[in-house]
Amino acid sequence: MNGVLLGVDLGTSGVKVLALNREGQVCAEAGASYPLLTPQPGWSEQRPADWAAAALQALKDVAGQLAARQLTPVALGLSGQMHGLVPLDAAGQVIRPAMLWNDARTGEQVAEIERLVPRDELIARIGNRAVAGFQWPKLLWLRQHEPENFAALRLALLPKDYLGYLLTGQAATEPSDASGVGLLNLQTLDWDEDLLRAAGLPRSLFPDVVPSHAVTGRLLPDIAAQTGLPTGLPVVAGGGDNAAAGIALGLSHRRPGRGSLSLGTSGVIFAPLSGPTPDPQGRVHLFAHADGGFHLLGVTLAAGGALQWFKDRVAPEIPLAQLMQEAAAVPDGSDGLSFLPYLAGERSPFMNPELRGAWSGLALAHGRGHLVRSLLEGVALSLGDVADVMKPLCGVQELLATGGGAGSALWLSLCAAATGLPVQVSDHAPGAAHGAALLAAVAAGWATDVAEVVERFAPPSTPLDHAAPDLEQARQRFRAAQHSPLIPQEASA
């Protein structure tokens, strides 16, 4: 009865570790941050050594809290940011900093992939068109621009899977994260041999794919000594951050009418599916879900990231709460000011890393509150573009809010108006670390399968209690700005 599950989420801004008891309650948690490296415009990198140091410290902090309460970890699940490339050499050492999900340097490699494999065939195989942030284009970039590093490459891991390798000495991945590499066949849930041949990449570069709830290894003695966790603790494959968060929110392909809206660094709409049904144009992603089904995922790259950028670069001395209050005082539509949130290129529906952000309609009458309000509206309208693509494919009828931005009723109401979908809020907003812990429940013997886990631990939710804003005119101005010379017409929605 004193056993607990551990969940680790290796995010973009930091790592979070928590422990759950049998009632699904958090009984210990800790976190640590690490820097984001942007050595050139469009580049986004992190040092895996920074991840490792932060994760081990957070695990140690949680282990100490549990020991004080005489609670014992019985299994550990993993989650983390998707798509990144962690390149390892023959000795298992990191070759260069990891290239992240929001790295936009691989436009040429995306074009190369589409020359190698027709887009419609690629979408049929992997559920997605070629995308700059995926791991496959990163490998081609490494081969072209850093041939000495590519020559040393023996294993290409995703971020959370690198952490699993560090903890256990075993390399493995699972479908929800692996389907964001760009080389996983969604019919077989294994690496696509035809695509590997077309790309000239050996199968040996990639770890085996196991179910999301599978034990991939056990905690190494030296890691146990560093953290205070039990030697041999089972480590479970887990899920990509969005899939793990979906598990925590109770989102399953068995309940396809409910999806989620995440306002984190990126903005994400997640909608479960029972089968692999992609958008024929590849404007949104189709990935495997950690519950054994599939899900659609539409991504606005800069959501909370855009707001954080504004605070850091434009108003560093102003508390975020004050900025949000100023935005709330501005009328719907921001008095004619529009914001395109493409600060890091854009995923859905454009899949164009070259897009850039802009304000349109700026006038002398506008103040800081207008800038923030239009930023919030621009992110919401961008997510509206995502919802317009997804709704005919999946029949999603409501969204459950999550992510740091879900604490703003104003922002959620803007997203509800922009997507045309009612938004639910939960009493607590469990995230990816929570879902990672739940995915370890089967290994701990707490449940027979993931479906039982999802059903048992789904959080309660209530409808958003906030006046619905009127964004119709703002939407029309947003559309006009999208079709301005700022955006190439062939990339427009």
Separation CA 287–CA 16 (nearest Å): 24
Residue whose tokens read 């959501």: 303
Separation CA 149–CA 153 (nearest Å): 6
Cis peptide before 349 (omega within 30 of 0): yes
Are 401 and 421 within 8 A, CB to CB?
no
Q: Known catalytic residue: 190?
A: no
With H, G, I as helix, E, B as strand and everything else as coil, classify residue 234.
Answer: strand
Separation CA 280–CA 31 (nearest Å): 40
Beta-carbon contacts of residue 20 (< 8 Å; ≥ 6 apart): 4, 5, 7, 26, 27, 434, 437, 438
Count CB-CB contacts under 10 A for residue 209. 21
Beta-carbon contacts of residue 23 (< 8 Å; ≥ 6 apart): none
Annotated active-site residue in 61, 103, 241, 332: 241
Separation CA 325–CA 438 (nearest Å): 36
List the structure tokens of 297.
């995922």
Separation CA 119–CA 133 (nearest Å): 17
Q: Which residues are catalytic?
A: 241
